[in-house]
Amino acid sequence: MNSLPIKPRKVAFDLSSIPRHWNGGDPVLTRFFDALSVHFPEGERFFIQSVRNFQDQVTDSQLREDIRHFIRQEAQHGIVHDRFNDVMAGQGVDVTKSTASLRLFIRTTQKYLPKKYQLAMTAAFEHFTATLGEAMISDESEMFRQAEPVMRALFLWHGVEEVEHKAVAYDVYQSAAGGGYLTRASALVVATVAMHLVVAPVFIDMLRLDGLARKPGVILKGLNKLYGRRGILSGMVPEFLAWFRPGFHPWDTGMPEKVAAWLEEYEKDGDPMSASNLIFGTPPLAEVA
Ligand SMILES: [Fe+2]
Ligand SMILES: [Fe+2]
């Protein structure tokens, strides 16, 4: 278990002047994260419910405390990403339609699959979000290098908290739910397939909305930045696959140095913008205005 306490942070971001293609002007890199983000509030409510189902069976007092903070962090992520959903709605994205498949997936899962499997899938999704969080903050990452400062601060705050609480659902699964290897291994396969089936059509719809249907060159270049040999998602594969090691635990990789640096900077004045600037560098003045 991690020795650092999990801390919920009530942050807010000024999203009033976010450019449509906020990630370095690249429509594909932007819409990929938009398509993930639009699903976060619904998804995080599912994660909270899955963990809550086992909350009363957790005997370890530290884990009980971690669960409370995990729930508050995920709830705050939902609030902030809901505000960003309003921004996307203003651009013409139909948020209700975009999240319909996820709602159907969650409804079906909660109706037909055992609570233990729902928790295994939550732990699996949490493995993905923590791996993404660790990747976005790493030195080699090009994920948000050119991104609009507010948006990169928003994703970084979320990513850091995903790292901070990366073991909570996993530990509840292992202890209170008595979960085993095969179920959790299969859950990551199911979760990965489901995530692609849910997110890909929304991603494509957003690109279509931006008039990119007739620009295959732009799409291919963007996809190469995601899935190519040196793509930002391809780089995550080894950490992602570590899940399938029988003795795997989320804290095997420890606390990345830069996450610790973000946490320390944030502690000073509770400002996610300055913590983000510490990691990514201070943007030129024109961008700050
Ligand atoms: Fe989250
Ligand atoms: Fe999470």
CA-atom Rg of the chain in angstroms: 18
Do the beta carbons of residue 138 and residue 258 sit within 8 Å? yes
Entry field: residues in the chain? 289
What's the gap in Å between 225 CA and the centre of ligand 2?
25
What's the gap in Å between 173 CA and the centre of ligand 1?
18
DSSP class of 93: -
Ligand having the closest approach to the CA of 75: 1
What's the gap in Å between 148 CA and the centre of ligand 2?
23
Structure tokens at 169: 């659902």
Ligand having the closest approach to the CA of 162: 2
For the chain, the structural domain boundaries read 27-254
Residue written as token pair 């291919």: 220
Candidates 72, 75, 85, 90; CA nearest to 36 is: 85
Encode pLDDT of 245-284 as tens digits.
999 999 998 999 999 999 999 999 999 999 999 998 887 6
Query: 127 falls in which pLDDT band (50, 70, 90)?
Result: very high
Please check the confidence at residue 19 and state whether its pLDDT lies above 80.
yes
Encode pLDDT of 194-241 as tens digits.
999 999 999 999 999 999 988 989 889 888 989 888 888 888 999 999
What's the gap in Å between 254 CA and the centre of ligand 2?
17
For residue 222, the one-letter residue type is: G
- Please tell me the pTM assigned to this model: 0.94
Residue 138 has a pLDDT of 87
Question: Cα angle at 207 between 202 and 208, to 5 degrees?
Answer: 95
Query: 289 falls in which pLDDT band (50, 70, 90)?
Result: very low
Encode pLDDT of 7-16 as tens digits.
999 999 999 9
Dist CA 6 CA 85 (whole Å):
26
Ligand having the closest approach to the CA of 6: 2
Encode pLDDT of 25-84 as tens digits.
999 999 999 999 999 999 999 999 999 999 999 999 999 999 999 999 999 999 999 999
Please check the confidence at residue 285 and state whether its pLDDT lies above 60.
no
What's the gap in Å between 77 CA and the centre of ligand 2?
9
What's the gap in Å between 214 CA and the centre of ligand 1?
34
Please check the confidence at residue 1 and state whether its pLDDT lies above 60.
no
What's the gap in Å between 126 CA and the centre of ligand 2?
5
CB count within 10 Å of CB 244 equals 12
Dist CA 266 CA 157 (whole Å):
9
What's the gap in Å between 211 CA and the centre of ligand 1?
30
Ligand having the closest approach to the CA of 80: 1
Encode pLDDT of 130-189 as tens digits.
999 999 998 777 889 899 999 999 999 999 999 999 999 999 999 999 999 999 999 999
Mean pLDDT of the chain: 93
**Percentage, residues of the chain above pLDDT 90:** 84
What's the gap in Å between 126 CA and the centre of ligand 1?
8
Dist CA 281 CA 273 (whole Å):
11
| CB-based burial label for 187 (10 Å; 0-12, 13-18, 19+) | buried
Dist CA 91 CA 86 (whole Å):
9
**How many CA atoms are closer than 13 Å to the CA of 215, on its beta-carbon side?**
15
What's the gap in Å between 51 CA and the centre of ligand 2?
11
What's the gap in Å between 227 CA and the centre of ligand 2?
23
Dist CA 169 CA 190 (whole Å):
17
| CB-based burial label for 86 (10 Å; 0-12, 13-18, 19+) | exposed
H runs (alpha helix) in the chain:
27-37, 40-55, 61-90, 95-98, 100-112, 115-137, 149-164, 168-174, 181-209, 216-227, 237-241, 257-269, 272-280, 285-288
Q: Between the CA of residue 120 and those of 46, 61, 131, 190, what are the distances in Å?
A: 12, 21, 17, 10
